[in-house]
Amino acid sequence: MMRRILNYNNEEDREILSQTSAEVTDFNSEEYKQLIQDLKDTFDKIPDARGISAIQIGVPLRVCICKWGTMYIVITNPTFTRVRGSQDFIEGCLSVPFVFKKINRYQKVWCAYKDENGNDAEIAEGGRMSDIIQHEVDHMNGKCLLYDEEKVL
């Protein structure tokens, strides 16, 4: 089911978006499976979206979906195990509509995570995919580097 994306311009939404998300512990629960489906359904309705975190639909769990080309990657309970370099990226955010900023991030990240079935996985990506992963992990940590209260409100 498509869900509403929370927006930093809304005070109640901003309180939720600022929470630190909890780790997923039950990968077999119906709630977790429905969350993954809801994220996919919501994500599919947004042209040019590259990532969405559970917190952005009001669920404070450490889950996101990233899309690269036609491939979806469900990343749960991510941990950066190694990082390298730095690079400026121009970012947008579904929760901060119509705002784009230059953000300096790691050029490449190695990220250990659980896939949607709870299996251990790791991704090592540089460039734009590295940026997407870092952006979504920021959301899980209650941060959005694009949100600037003075400019957005």
115: left (phi over 0), alpha (psi -120 to 50) or beta: beta
What's the rounded Cα separation, in Å, for the pair 125 and 148? Answer: 28
All domains in the chain, ordered by first residue: 11-152 (3.90.45.10)
Indicate the burial class of 120 (C-beta count within 10 angstroms; 0-12, 13-18, 19 or more): exposed
pTM of this structure:
0.92
Instruction: Give per-residue pLDDT as tens, 51-70.
Output: 999 999 999 999 999 987 78
Instruction: Give per-residue pLDDT as tens, 23-33.
Output: 999 999 999 99
Please check the confidence at residue 146 and state whether its pLDDT lies above 80: no
Active site residues: 136
pLDDT at 153: 33
What's the rounded Cα separation, in Å, for the pair 61 and 63? Answer: 6
Question: Contact 125/81 with Cβ under 8 angstroms?
Answer: no
pLDDT at 69: 77
What's the rounded Cα separation, in Å, for the pair 7 and 70? Answer: 26
Instruction: Give per-residue pLDDT as tens, 90-119.
Output: 999 999 988 899 999 999 999 999 999 999
What average pLDDT does the segment 72-80 reach?
A: 96
What average pLDDT does the segment 35-60 reach?
A: 93
Cβ neighbours of residue 25 closer than 8 Å, sequence gap 6 or more: none
